[in-house]
Structure 1
Amino acid sequence: MNKCLLPAILATALLAGHVQAQSAEVKGDITLTAYSGIFQDKYVEAVIKPFEAKFPGVKVNFFPVGASSAMLGNLRSQAGDPQTDVVIFDVSTSLIGDKEGLLAPLSAADVPNLADLVPQAIVKEGYGPAVTFDNLVVLYNTEAFPTPPTSLSVLWDKAYAGKMAITSMPSILGSGLMVMTSAMLGEDYTKSVTASAAKLAEMAPNVQTFDPKPDAYTLVINGTDVLATGWNARGQYYADQSGGKLGVMLPKEGSILQINTINLVEGAKNPETAKAFINYALSPEAQAAFTEAMFYAPVNAKAKVSDVATARTVAGQLDKMLPLDWGWAATKSDAWNQIWKRQIISAGN
């Protein structure tokens, strides 16, 4: 045997042995709580199944929930006996969970892939980082718009009265729309949302529903509504699935960056396997796979994503994102929610 090859062969054998040992240590069932619907379908295929293949002794049970606020409610009700090990939900909700002690801290020793995340992904030192990036968009029915709209102001066009689905707070689609409306009006939302609230109240009579069911994407595709607010990743996916009936518009006035975080639940029953899953979910391969599957922008700087997919994610539109401190926004959530209920939604009745 060539003596020059011996060190390399030994190193390869040692690495293989380490991987096998690591796989043997990571075992048991964990429960992941995350978004239902198409998110669940794509996440299982792109992330969970490859993780289970890598760690044969692990079973990831996906518990689907429709909204971040409902996930937070579940964590609160189970605080004494958590039934979830890992949770994926929006950043404003995770910051509340951090504050209430519902989520556990993570370190680079626990999750080595933290070292390769882009700066925007580190939401709060020591806690769950971003796992996906997305942005708020206006959805439109392409048959109703031979010329695609370009401005947020289309939501105030009386020509579409009764044909709009606008998701209100407590969803962050509602708080995001308020911030975008403030930008359109030249208002500094960090000081006041009086002007944007009044403007959204003017829009309210045009709205067919503030609680789209089954979802805004379906309502626009089937023509029940012709305009809606939604998320770019799902919008891009459904644009393809609908054969082009659904259009996706990033308003010229700008949008907001939506961040989903991945978190270890305090008191998780299988924390070591949960940490291994979080590490895999943040890996370049998992990040690239989910971006290609559903157009969420990756958070790992080493993820290799096709140019075609990148162009349809927020990664190609970061210069159009409005500044928004989600930690600060979380402190305004209750007050803004009341504004939506009392001033905006009520104006449509």
Structure 2
Amino acid sequence: MISRRTFLATTAAAAMAGTLKSHAGSFEGQTLRVQFWGGSDGLAIQKYVADPFMKATGAKVVVEEGVTSASIAKVTAQKSDPQIDVAFLDDVGVFALNRQGLLDKIDLEKVPNAKDVYPNFILDGGFGIGFWTYITTILNNTKSPAPTSWEDLWSPAYQGKVLVPSINDTQALLLTVMAAQLGGGSLENLAPAWPKLAALKPQVFSFIENRALDAQALQAGQATAAVDIPTYFKPYMADSSDIGVATDLKEGYFAITGAAVLVKGSRGNRDLAHAFINQALSPEAQAGFATDVWYGPTNQKTIVSESAAPYVVHTPEQLAKAIQVPRLDLVSKRPEIVQNWNKIFNS
């Protein structure tokens, strides 16, 4: 007899070995230069993509780390002599770099796992492909009624109980978009957001700046709701069942995609680069991402662990409700949002 956890781990390992078997030793001695995030995100990519890929193929993967904005800046600065073959970055990076003509289109025929990726994660006509997705939604104290709509944040039950994002975070921009939508507006028409946010002001417990303290407030019931990305609270939720994540809100939740791109003009073997991207799209790697960092899969065949399932968007029904805001348009609206946000909440 073996435990279910052991069985799943063994099955996943065997499947991952199968995914890479066709490349065994085929890239011996070759080097691929890759850029992706640091921290827990980078550790997960190293564990489930880079390390098994190097072991199976004999290739060397040289990693440079940086957030999406740094990756965009680096690829742009190196456009005359690209030093990065593959970059993993947020979806906004795909659009920003492709508008500058700095990406090559991914040959999906060379990426077998791409056939199982939900079509909406093939980005910008195939110049990027998503390998994980994470959401901005409402976290809640599970001893209180779970929210079913973003409108709940404005209800009397939440007065003085809501943890609101800092305006320095993208989550605040997305909350503004939702406020506009609830008032009949949109990203293109933010005017309804301002009175809606003004009405949210009495609901605010505090702004999210120290998630360790914010998690304590949420667990203690001092705050009963928080607008944020669930993975940021993960280190403080491991031993507590008092924080839940809303993955069934009436209006949906905002999704941001982590995507892979090929840098135009780089010197690395393109077959090697496509094989590396294929590993990131494998259901085994994506199951690992879900467990380790609470990022949802883009591959329809991914089996998410029971421990991660409540905190990630992973079913077809959930993914259908994911709101993907045009990120470049959102960035262009940032000055307007910041100005009005500060007038409302700092007055």
Superposed, 1:246-285 pairs within 5 Å as 246-250=243-247, 251-272=249-270, 273-285=272-284
Instruction: Give the corresponding residue for 2:36.
Output: 33
TM-superposed deviation, 1:63 = 0.8
Structure 1 pair 271/32, CA: closer, same or farther in 2 (3 Å)? Answer: farther
TM-score normalised by structure 2 residue count: 0.76
What one-letter code is carried by the residue in structure 1 that aligns with 2:35?
A: L
Structure 2 match to 1:75: 75
Corresponding residue of 1:133: 133
Cα-to-partner distance string for 1:18-39 (whole Å, 9 max, x where unaligned) = 64452437x21423222x3322
Residue 116 of structure 2 aligns with which residue?
116
State the partner residue of 2:9: none
DSSP 3-state at the match of 1:314 = coil
Q: Structure 1 residues 198 and 263, CA, compared in 2 at 3 Å: closer, same or farther?
A: farther
Sort the Cα spacing of 1:323 and 1:230 in 2 relative to 1 into closer, same or farther, 3 A.
Answer: closer
Q: Go from structure 1 to structure 2 and tell me whether the alpha carbon gap of 1:218 and 1:265 turns closer, same or farther (over 3 Å shift).
A: farther
Q: Deviations over 1:149-168 (max 9, x none)?
A: 414346554423xx734043
Q: Give unpaired runs (5+ residues) of structure 1.
A: 1-15
Kindly provide the amino acid, as one letter, of the partner of residue 179 in structure 1. Answer: V
What residue in structure 1 maps to residue 11 of structure 2? none
Residue 340 of structure 1 pairs with residue 337 of structure 2? yes
Distance across 2 between alignment mates of 1:249 and 1:228: 10
- TM superposition shift of 1:343: 0.5
Conserved 8 A contact 2:25-2:56: no
Aligned-residue CA RMSD (Å) = 3.4
Could you tell me how far apart the structure 2 residues matched to 1:102 and 1:202 are? 44
- Structure 1 pair 132/83, CA: closer, same or farther in 2 (3 Å)? same
- When residues 148 and 268 of structure 1 are mapped into structure 2, their CA distance, relative to the original with a 3 A threshold, is farther
* Aligned-residue identity in percent: 22
Change (3 A) 1:191 1:29: closer
Q: Following TM superposition, where does structure 1 have runs of at least 4 consecutive aligned residues deviating by more than 6 angstroms?
A: none
Give, as a single letter, the amino acid of the residue that structure 1 aligns with 2:186: Y
- The match for 1:221 among 215, 219, 222 is 215
Residue 190 (structure 1) shift: 5.3
Equivalent residues in 2 for 1:19-58, closer than 5 Å: 19-20=23-24, 22-24=26-28, 27-34=30-37, 36-58=38-60
Q: Counterpart in 2 of 1:168?
A: 167
Distance 1:132 1:201, change over 3 A: same
**Which residue in 1 is equivalent to 2:287?**
288
Q: Quote how far apart the aligned CAs of 1:129 are.
A: 0.9
Partner residue, 1:159: 160
Residue 175 of structure 2 corresponds to 177
Change (3 A) 1:312 1:331: closer
Task: Provide the rounded CA distance (Å) in 2 between the counterparts of 1:82 and 1:223.
Answer: 47
Distance (whole Å) between structure 2 residues aligned to residue 18 and residue 318 of structure 1: 33
Q: Which residue matches 1:147?
A: 144
Cα pair distance change 1:165/1:277, threshold 3 Å:
same
TM superposition score normalised by structure 1: 0.75
**How many angstroms apart in 2 are the aligned matches of 1:252 and 1:294?**
25
How far, CA to CA, are the matches of 1:317 and 1:183 in structure 2?
24
How far the C-alpha of 1:147 sits from its partner, in A, is 1.1
Number of positions where the alignment pairs a residue of Structure 1 with one of Structure 2: 316
Write out per-residue CA displacement over residues 185-230 of structure 1, whole angstroms, 9 at most, x where no aligned residue: 3x141552211233224445747447x35xxx43422449945322
Specify the code of the residue in structure 2 equivalent to 1:22: S
1-structure distance, mates of 2:197, 2:239: 29
Write the distance in 1 (CA, Å) between the matches of 2:336 and 2:28. 53
**Residues 100-111 of structure 1: pairs in structure 2 closer than 5 A:** 100-111=100-111
Match of 1:10 in 2: none
3-state SS in 2 of match to 1:243? coil
Secondary structure of 2:108's aligned partner: coil
- Structure 2: how far apart are the matches of 1:115 and 1:201? 46
Q: 5+ unaligned residues in a row in structure 2: which ranges? A: 1-19
**Code of the aligned partner of 1:30:** R
Secondary structure in 2 aligned to 1:300? coil
- Give secondary structure in 2 for the equivalent of 1:176: helix
- For 1:17 and 1:90, the matched residues in 2 are separated by 29
Structure number with greater Rg is: 1
